[in-house]
Amino acid sequence: MPHLTINSCSYHCSENGNGRPLILLHGFTGSSVNWRRVTAVLSNHFRLITIDLLGHGRTDSPNNPARYRMEQASADLIALLDNLGVAQTALLGYSMGGRLALYTAVHHPHRISRLILESASPGLQTAVERSERRQRDEALAGQIERDGIPTFVDFWESLSLWESQKRLPEGIRLTLRRQRLQNNSKGLANTLRGMGTGVQPSLWPRLADLHMPVLLLAGALDEKFVGINRQMAAQLPSARLQIVADAGHTIHLERPSIFNHLLLQFLNQSGRNFGK
Protein backbone atom coordinates (compact mmCIF):
# COMPACT_ATOMS: atom_id res chain seq x y z
CA MET A 1 0.00 0.00 0.00
CA PRO A 2 2.63 2.60 -0.92
CA HIS A 3 0.19 5.04 -2.56
CA LEU A 4 -3.54 5.73 -2.30
CA THR A 5 -5.48 8.23 -4.41
CA ILE A 6 -7.53 10.34 -2.00
CA ASN A 7 -9.73 13.14 -3.37
CA SER A 8 -7.64 13.27 -6.57
CA CYS A 9 -4.28 13.43 -4.74
CA SER A 10 -1.78 10.59 -4.41
CA TYR A 11 -0.88 9.96 -0.76
CA HIS A 12 2.11 7.91 0.30
CA CYS A 13 1.16 5.60 3.19
CA SER A 14 2.82 2.74 5.01
CA GLU A 15 1.41 0.03 7.26
CA ASN A 16 3.21 -2.00 9.89
CA GLY A 17 2.04 -4.47 12.50
CA ASN A 18 -1.33 -5.89 13.43
CA GLY A 19 -4.01 -5.14 15.97
CA ARG A 20 -5.86 -1.98 16.86
CA PRO A 21 -5.17 0.90 14.44
CA LEU A 22 -3.00 3.91 15.21
CA ILE A 23 -2.48 6.72 12.68
CA LEU A 24 0.70 8.81 12.93
CA LEU A 25 0.95 12.33 11.46
CA HIS A 26 4.32 14.11 11.11
CA GLY A 27 5.16 17.80 11.43
CA PHE A 28 6.10 20.56 8.96
CA THR A 29 9.12 19.62 6.79
CA GLY A 30 8.76 16.01 8.00
CA SER A 31 7.50 12.76 6.51
CA SER A 32 6.38 9.32 7.60
CA VAL A 33 10.00 8.15 7.94
CA ASN A 34 10.35 10.34 11.04
CA TRP A 35 8.33 7.75 12.96
CA ARG A 36 10.69 4.81 12.41
CA ARG A 37 11.98 4.78 15.99
CA VAL A 38 8.37 4.66 17.16
CA THR A 39 7.01 2.12 14.69
CA ALA A 40 9.90 -0.27 15.38
CA VAL A 41 8.53 -0.67 18.91
CA LEU A 42 4.78 -0.17 18.49
CA SER A 43 4.37 -2.47 15.46
CA ASN A 44 4.42 -5.37 17.92
CA HIS A 45 1.21 -4.02 19.46
CA PHE A 46 -0.79 -2.08 16.85
CA ARG A 47 -1.67 -1.68 13.20
CA LEU A 48 0.40 1.41 12.47
CA ILE A 49 -0.47 3.65 9.53
CA THR A 50 1.99 6.44 8.70
CA ILE A 51 1.22 9.07 6.10
CA ASP A 52 3.16 11.70 4.16
CA LEU A 53 0.92 14.76 4.38
CA LEU A 54 0.22 16.95 1.35
CA GLY A 55 3.30 18.79 0.14
CA HIS A 56 5.64 16.47 2.03
CA GLY A 57 7.67 13.38 1.29
CA ARG A 58 6.27 11.24 -1.50
CA THR A 59 2.73 12.63 -1.39
CA ASP A 60 1.49 15.05 -4.07
CA SER A 61 2.17 18.80 -3.85
CA PRO A 62 -0.86 20.51 -5.43
CA ASN A 63 -0.45 23.93 -7.01
CA ASN A 64 -3.44 25.48 -5.23
CA PRO A 65 -2.72 26.50 -1.61
CA ALA A 66 -6.43 26.13 -0.79
CA ARG A 67 -6.09 22.37 -1.35
CA TYR A 68 -3.89 22.23 1.77
CA ARG A 69 -6.41 23.89 4.09
CA MET A 70 -7.14 22.09 7.34
CA GLU A 71 -10.67 21.12 6.35
CA GLN A 72 -9.37 19.58 3.11
CA ALA A 73 -6.53 17.75 4.84
CA SER A 74 -8.92 16.40 7.47
CA ALA A 75 -11.39 15.25 4.80
CA ASP A 76 -8.50 13.44 3.11
CA LEU A 77 -7.64 11.72 6.37
CA ILE A 78 -11.21 10.51 6.87
CA ALA A 79 -11.36 9.31 3.25
CA LEU A 80 -8.11 7.45 3.82
CA LEU A 81 -9.62 5.71 6.87
CA ASP A 82 -12.62 4.72 4.74
CA ASN A 83 -10.32 3.39 2.04
CA LEU A 84 -8.45 1.27 4.59
CA GLY A 85 -11.61 -0.01 6.24
CA VAL A 86 -10.84 1.68 9.57
CA ALA A 87 -14.07 2.59 11.36
CA GLN A 88 -12.36 4.11 14.38
CA THR A 89 -8.73 4.72 15.27
CA ALA A 90 -6.32 6.19 17.76
CA LEU A 91 -4.63 9.24 16.26
CA LEU A 92 -1.17 10.63 17.02
CA GLY A 93 -0.05 13.98 15.66
CA TYR A 94 3.19 15.89 16.11
CA SER A 95 3.35 19.71 15.82
CA MET A 96 1.61 20.56 12.50
CA GLY A 97 0.34 16.98 12.40
CA GLY A 98 -0.98 17.52 15.91
CA ARG A 99 -3.01 20.51 14.75
CA LEU A 100 -4.48 18.33 11.99
CA ALA A 101 -5.15 15.51 14.44
CA LEU A 102 -6.93 17.87 16.83
CA TYR A 103 -8.98 19.42 14.01
CA THR A 104 -10.02 15.94 12.86
CA ALA A 105 -10.97 14.85 16.38
CA VAL A 106 -13.09 17.99 16.82
CA HIS A 107 -14.93 17.59 13.52
CA HIS A 108 -15.09 13.78 13.33
CA PRO A 109 -15.11 12.66 16.97
CA HIS A 110 -16.86 9.36 16.25
CA ARG A 111 -13.88 8.26 14.12
CA ILE A 112 -11.22 8.96 16.77
CA SER A 113 -11.07 6.72 19.83
CA ARG A 114 -8.00 8.22 21.49
CA LEU A 115 -5.95 11.27 20.68
CA ILE A 116 -2.23 11.84 21.29
CA LEU A 117 -0.89 15.34 20.68
CA GLU A 118 2.87 15.91 20.77
CA SER A 119 4.05 19.54 20.87
CA ALA A 120 0.75 20.64 19.35
CA SER A 121 -1.66 23.54 19.78
CA PRO A 122 -5.29 24.49 18.98
CA GLY A 123 -4.06 27.45 16.93
CA LEU A 124 -4.00 31.16 17.69
CA GLN A 125 -6.81 32.65 19.73
CA THR A 126 -7.27 36.13 18.21
CA ALA A 127 -7.79 37.45 14.70
CA VAL A 128 -4.87 39.86 15.15
CA GLU A 129 -2.50 37.00 16.05
CA ARG A 130 -3.69 34.96 13.06
CA SER A 131 -3.27 37.91 10.67
CA GLU A 132 0.27 38.59 11.86
CA ARG A 133 1.16 34.89 11.57
CA ARG A 134 -0.27 34.69 8.02
CA GLN A 135 1.99 37.58 7.01
CA ARG A 136 5.05 35.84 8.48
CA ASP A 137 4.13 32.54 6.86
CA GLU A 138 3.63 34.19 3.46
CA ALA A 139 7.06 35.81 3.76
CA LEU A 140 8.59 32.44 4.64
CA ALA A 141 6.76 30.75 1.75
CA GLY A 142 8.20 33.33 -0.64
CA GLN A 143 11.65 32.74 0.82
CA ILE A 144 11.35 29.00 0.21
CA GLU A 145 10.32 29.55 -3.41
CA ARG A 146 13.00 32.14 -4.01
CA ASP A 147 15.98 30.50 -2.31
CA GLY A 148 15.21 26.79 -2.64
CA ILE A 149 15.08 23.89 -0.21
CA PRO A 150 18.77 23.64 0.86
CA THR A 151 18.92 27.30 1.89
CA PHE A 152 15.58 27.01 3.65
CA VAL A 153 16.65 23.89 5.55
CA ASP A 154 19.77 25.74 6.73
CA PHE A 155 17.53 28.52 8.01
CA TRP A 156 14.98 26.12 9.53
CA GLU A 157 17.59 24.15 11.42
CA SER A 158 19.03 27.36 12.89
CA LEU A 159 15.79 28.21 14.73
CA SER A 160 15.91 28.14 18.53
CA LEU A 161 13.00 25.68 18.48
CA TRP A 162 15.49 22.97 17.47
CA GLU A 163 18.26 23.87 19.91
CA SER A 164 17.80 20.65 21.87
CA GLN A 165 18.18 18.57 18.67
CA LYS A 166 21.84 19.56 18.58
CA ARG A 167 22.41 16.99 21.32
CA LEU A 168 21.15 14.13 19.17
CA PRO A 169 23.74 11.67 17.78
CA GLU A 170 25.23 12.91 14.52
CA GLY A 171 23.75 10.02 12.54
CA ILE A 172 20.21 10.88 13.63
CA ARG A 173 20.72 14.58 12.83
CA LEU A 174 22.08 13.76 9.37
CA THR A 175 19.16 11.42 8.67
CA LEU A 176 16.72 14.13 9.72
CA ARG A 177 18.46 16.69 7.51
CA ARG A 178 18.41 14.35 4.49
CA GLN A 179 14.69 13.80 5.02
CA ARG A 180 14.01 17.55 5.16
CA LEU A 181 16.01 18.10 1.98
CA GLN A 182 13.82 15.61 0.10
CA ASN A 183 10.85 17.97 0.28
CA ASN A 184 10.09 20.41 -2.53
CA SER A 185 9.66 24.17 -2.53
CA LYS A 186 6.10 24.19 -3.87
CA GLY A 187 4.86 21.71 -1.30
CA LEU A 188 6.35 23.46 1.73
CA ALA A 189 5.41 26.96 0.56
CA ASN A 190 1.80 25.98 -0.13
CA THR A 191 1.58 24.11 3.17
CA LEU A 192 2.39 27.37 4.95
CA ARG A 193 -0.19 29.25 2.88
CA GLY A 194 -2.96 26.67 3.22
CA MET A 195 -2.33 24.88 6.50
CA GLY A 196 -0.25 27.33 8.55
CA THR A 197 -1.20 28.35 12.07
CA GLY A 198 -2.37 31.74 10.83
CA VAL A 199 -4.86 30.19 8.40
CA GLN A 200 -6.23 27.59 10.78
CA PRO A 201 -9.40 28.54 12.68
CA SER A 202 -8.87 28.62 16.43
CA LEU A 203 -9.88 25.34 18.06
CA TRP A 204 -9.68 26.67 21.62
CA PRO A 205 -13.49 27.07 21.93
CA ARG A 206 -13.98 23.44 20.85
CA LEU A 207 -11.70 21.73 23.36
CA ALA A 208 -14.51 21.21 25.86
CA ASP A 209 -16.41 19.23 23.22
CA LEU A 210 -13.77 16.48 23.08
CA HIS A 211 -14.70 13.57 25.34
CA MET A 212 -12.32 10.88 24.08
CA PRO A 213 -9.17 10.26 26.16
CA VAL A 214 -6.40 12.69 25.17
CA LEU A 215 -2.68 12.47 25.93
CA LEU A 216 -0.79 15.77 25.73
CA LEU A 217 2.99 15.57 25.42
CA ALA A 218 5.38 18.50 25.70
CA GLY A 219 9.13 18.67 26.23
CA ALA A 220 10.22 20.48 29.38
CA LEU A 221 12.78 22.48 27.36
CA ASP A 222 10.04 23.70 25.00
CA GLU A 223 8.63 26.34 27.34
CA LYS A 224 6.18 27.86 24.87
CA PHE A 225 4.43 24.55 24.22
CA VAL A 226 4.53 23.56 27.87
CA GLY A 227 2.45 26.66 28.54
CA ILE A 228 0.07 25.98 25.66
CA ASN A 229 -0.46 22.38 26.73
CA ARG A 230 -1.11 23.32 30.35
CA GLN A 231 -3.92 25.58 29.10
CA MET A 232 -5.24 22.80 26.86
CA ALA A 233 -5.21 20.27 29.70
CA ALA A 234 -7.31 22.60 31.83
CA GLN A 235 -10.01 22.76 29.13
CA LEU A 236 -10.14 19.19 27.84
CA PRO A 237 -12.63 16.97 29.70
CA SER A 238 -10.46 13.83 29.64
CA ALA A 239 -6.82 14.79 29.20
CA ARG A 240 -3.53 13.64 30.67
CA LEU A 241 -0.56 16.00 30.39
CA GLN A 242 2.98 14.64 30.41
CA ILE A 243 5.90 17.07 30.52
CA VAL A 244 8.95 15.08 29.39
CA ALA A 245 12.17 16.07 31.13
CA ASP A 246 15.29 16.88 29.12
CA ALA A 247 13.37 17.10 25.83
CA GLY A 248 12.50 19.92 23.45
CA HIS A 249 9.92 20.10 20.66
CA THR A 250 10.61 16.68 19.11
CA ILE A 251 10.16 14.25 21.99
CA HIS A 252 9.86 11.15 19.80
CA LEU A 253 13.39 11.76 18.49
CA GLU A 254 15.01 13.20 21.61
CA ARG A 255 13.59 10.79 24.21
CA PRO A 256 12.27 7.82 22.18
CA SER A 257 12.21 5.26 25.01
CA ILE A 258 10.16 7.51 27.27
CA PHE A 259 7.94 8.55 24.36
CA ASN A 260 7.16 4.93 23.45
CA HIS A 261 6.55 4.02 27.09
CA LEU A 262 4.05 6.86 27.53
CA LEU A 263 2.25 5.90 24.32
CA LEU A 264 1.94 2.25 25.26
CA GLN A 265 0.81 3.11 28.76
CA PHE A 266 -1.87 5.46 27.46
CA LEU A 267 -3.10 3.27 24.62
CA ASN A 268 -3.26 0.10 26.72
CA GLN A 269 -5.01 1.62 29.71
CA SER A 270 -8.46 0.10 29.43
CA GLY A 271 -9.49 -0.84 25.88
CA ARG A 272 -13.09 0.19 26.56
CA ASN A 273 -12.91 3.30 24.38
CA PHE A 274 -10.00 2.39 22.18
CA GLY A 275 -10.52 1.22 18.60
CA LYS A 276 -12.22 -1.28 16.37
* pLDDT by 10-residue block (mean), the chain, 276 residues: 88 93 97 92 92 97 96 97 96 98 98 97 94 96 97 95 92 94 97 95 96 97 97 96 97 96 91 41
Say if residue 1 is exposed, middle or buried (CB neighbours under 10 Å; 0-12, 13-18, 19+): exposed
Please give the single-letter amino acid code of residue 201: P
Q: HEC states along 122-179?
A: CCCCCHHHHHHHHHHHHHHHHHHHHHCHHHHHHHHHCCHHHHHHHHCCHHHHHHHHHH
What's the whole-model pTM score? 0.94
Compute CA 143 distance to the chain's CA centroid, rounded to the nearest angstrom. 23
The predicted pLDDT at position 269 comes to 84
* d(C-alpha 174, C-alpha 144), whole Å: 21
Return left, alpha or beta for 58; rule: phi > 0 is left, psi -120 to 50 is alpha, else beta: alpha
Q: Three-state DSSP class for 217?
A: strand
Residues 6+ apart with CB under 8 A from 122: 99, 102, 202, 203, 204, 206, 207, 232
The predicted pLDDT at position 65 comes to 96
The predicted pLDDT at position 274 comes to 38
Hey, where are the domains in the chain?
3-273
- Residue 47 has phi, psi (to 5 degrees) of -85, 105
For the domain with range 3-273, which CATH number is right: 3.40.50.720, 3.40.50.1820, 3.90.78.10, 3.90.1150.10?
3.40.50.1820
The predicted pLDDT at position 118 comes to 98
Bridge partner residues of 41 (DSSP): none
